[in-house]
């Protein structure tokens, strides 16, 4: 095998690898206004009240009975998985102290979507 044949083979492998990387799904960027609306809902005591239990960026007087909210894109595979957790955490953990925001209609589906956008951005 000549050097030019080896280089051609390496170049072909690089093109193949680049083509495969293009197929890897990338998390969609969140709409900044949805993130801000979600943050307001998460911080509002009459709605999400996430700060009662969670520490998160931008929050003051946060609780410490639940995990800190950060690096969420590495903790959840998708926004849908995160939404399911927020909507009803009792599905995965019946003993959780987290309220089922969706099932108990504490937050509407649209409000949960906004909270998901905010939490996903952390």
pLDDT in tens, 66-110: 999 999 999 999 999 999 999 999 999 999 999 999 999 999 999
Residue 9 lies in a domain: no
Residue 40 lies in a domain: yes
Which CATH number does the domain housing residue 53 bear? 1.10.760.10
* Tens-digit pLDDT profile for residues 102-115: 999 999 999 999 99
CA distance 10 to 7: 5
Does residue 104 contact residue 115 with C-beta atoms inside 8 Å? no
- Average pLDDT of the chain is 81
CA distance 72 to 49: 18
Domain limits for position 62:
29-120
Q: What is the dihedral of CA 37, 42, 44, 47, to 10 degrees?
A: 100
C-alpha distances in angstroms, 75 versus 5, 7, 60, 71, 109? 44, 40, 23, 7, 22
Question: Which whole number is the average pLDDT over 3-18?
Answer: 44
Residue 21 lies in a domain: no
Q: How many domains does the chain have?
A: 1
This prediction has a pTM of 0.73
């Amino acid at each position: 095998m000549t050097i030019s044949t080896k280089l051609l083979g390496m170049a072909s492998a690089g093109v193949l690898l680049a083509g495969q990387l293009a197929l890897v799904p990338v998390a969609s960027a969140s709409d900044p206004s949805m993130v801000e609306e979600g943050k307001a809902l998460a911080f509002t005591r009459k709605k999400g009240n996430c700060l009662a239990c969670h520490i998160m960026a931008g929050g003051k007087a946060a609780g410490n009975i639940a995990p800190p909210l950060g690096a969420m894109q590495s903790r959840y595979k998708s926004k849908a998985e995160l939404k399911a957790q927020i909507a009803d955490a009792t599905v995965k953990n019946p003993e959780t102290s987290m309220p089922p925001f969706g099932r108990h209609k504490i937050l509407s589906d649209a409000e949960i979507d906004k909270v998901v956008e905010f939490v996903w951005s952390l």
